[in-house]
Structure 1
Amino acid sequence: MHTTTSPSTDPDRVPPRLANNRLLASLPDDDQLQLAERCETVRVENGQLLSEPGKEMRYVYFPIDCLISLLGVAEGRMTLEVGSLGREGMLGASVVLGHEQAQVRAVVQRSGRVYRMAAGDFVTEFHRMESLQRLLHRYTDTMLAQAIQIAVCSRFHVLEARLARSLLITRDRLQSDKFHLTHEFLAHALGVRRVGVTKAASALQQQKLITYSRGNIEILDAAGLESVSCHCYDLFKEK
């Protein structure tokens, strides 16, 4: 896993509007223009750390075409995925509540681009912009509900169903039936040993729901995969 925390700046200029992120695209045009003046477009790479619990959040991020996994961390080494972000969301919303330090480990799950804004600038715009306040209140409430559901899921649902749920969420975030996830990453995300991921993935493959080879995953039967997934997946649909 890479430990670099400073994404490289994209040579392309930031567009006048921020329509490539669905969260920002829901804001009025004038407010998007105001935020765009404070944003830059950067590229983030697979495995890159964007935040670490207890470390200062210097920036907030709005994914364009990448995927970011949010991991809760215990004792510095044990992890559990508590959420994931695609172009529908953002990383760092808690800075507007006065939390200058990150609460989760944010790891890039798929390389791509993000809009990046200095945390201080984002806080300033939040207090100035009523539309952004309303948007973040709804968004943080949704993210809290999802984190609670994942905690319940991790305690009470079998691994095979949890893996199916995770794969379906990844497909929805990336809008693709094909993606790359290693056994190691899935073990960290699901809070289990790699052998458990291997057994669960094999079970899904034997049912001809997925193919899985060297981390390359293809969902063959989305409806079938949803049928073996836990009902927690319903909470994440189209979010």
Structure 2
Amino acid sequence: MKPSTLSPMTNHLIDSLPHQDRVSFLADCEAVDLVFGEVLAEPGGRISHVYFPLNSFISLIANLSDGDRLEVAMVGSEGMFGMPLILGIEESPWHALVQGAGPALRIPAAVFGRHLEQSPALQALLKRYLYVLMHQLSRVAACTHFHQLEARLARWLLMTQDRAHSDQLHLTHEFLAMMLGVRRAGITLAAMALQTRRLIRYHRGDITVLDRAGLIEASCGCYASDRRIYRQVIIEGEVP
């Protein structure tokens, strides 16, 4: 990780704060460049910093005792990493892995805690974001059990595209298999099916989204549900 030299972008949570709260919070943030494959936290490890991705994104991965791994959430410019601190817990339940390199803002956990105590607006916003994350986690559990792999892959590609802000994605079959908790052969068949429908183009780990509308139609309803909850709770500020 290194200080960011890229053009400043935005994080929707920080942008949603009232002006004075936002100015005060940003004064204690540091701009950094997240590096692909960088580990920001391990399960049971202490959370030293809170991260607000700008044009980068982080996978939150559950590790099982037998070595299996499954991505349970993804954080980009719509969110943050460090949610347990909102509950007063300093340990991470997840393996936090940088999946999309790029700029982010970070703030030391202790300083973040002081802002949380002093800003009712920050508390209210992050409590709503925590609800959104809980919704995403529950959807992943149900989606993994009930929905077909092709639809789950379409959903995951859309989520990645949203956070990468690009139609061009670099994702190997091995990585996709780990993220979705399936065998590599299953990913191969699902990717081939989406490519046959001309929704994506896949070659040697490079994926191009050709038809986003078609990919949304091919995905399960979980993708639309995630976006609806985020819009309702974070953007419109309503509680379901």
- Give secondary structure in 2 for the equivalent of 1:24: helix
Say if 1:228 and 1:29 are closer, same or farther in 2 by CA, change over 3 A. same
1:163-218 Cα distance to aligned partner (Å, 9 max, x none): 01101111122232221112122111101111111111111111111101111111
Structure 2 residue aligned with 1:70: 60
> Counterpart amino acid of 2:71?
E
8 Å contact 1:63–1:90 — kept in the other structure? yes
In 1, Cα distance between the equivalents of 2:144 and 2:180? 8
1:45-72 Cα distance to aligned partner (Å, 9 max, x none): 1111111111110000000100111111
Matches within 5 A, 1:6-155: 7-10=1-4, 20-75=10-65, 77-155=67-145
Select the residue among 133, 155, 166 that pairs with 1:176: 166
TM-score, normalised with respect to structure 2: 0.91
1:78-126 Cα distance to aligned partner (Å, 9 max, x none): 1111111111100002113121111111111111011011011101110
**Superposition deviation, residue 236 in structure 1:** 2.3
8 Å contact 1:49–1:107 — kept in the other structure? yes
TM-score, normalised with respect to structure 1: 0.91
Matches within 5 A, 1:182-221: 182-221=172-211
Pick which of 121-130 and 170-179 moved more: 170-179
Say if 1:159 and 1:11 are closer, same or farther in 2 by CA, change over 3 A. closer
Higher helix share: 2
In 2, Cα distance between the equivalents of 1:76 and 1:115? 34
**Percent of pairs with identical residues:** 44
**Superposition deviation, residue 11 in structure 1:** 5.2
Structure 1 residue aligned with 2:234: none
Give the aligned length.
229
> Counterpart amino acid of 2:120?
E
8 Å contact 2:60–2:97 — kept in the other structure? yes
> Structure 2 regions of 5+ residues with no counterpart?
231-240
> Structure 1 regions of 5+ residues with no counterpart?
1-6
> Counterpart amino acid of 2:61?
L
8 Å contact 1:169–1:236 — kept in the other structure? no
In 2, Cα distance between the equivalents of 1:96 and 1:176? 31
In 2, Cα distance between the equivalents of 1:96 and 1:139? 10
In 2, Cα distance between the equivalents of 1:123 and 1:232? 32
**Superposition deviation, residue 76 in structure 1:** 6.4
Structure 1 residue aligned with 2:237: none
Structure 2 residue aligned with 1:3: none
8 Å contact 2:135–2:226 — kept in the other structure? no
- Give secondary structure in 1 for the equivalent of 2:10: coil
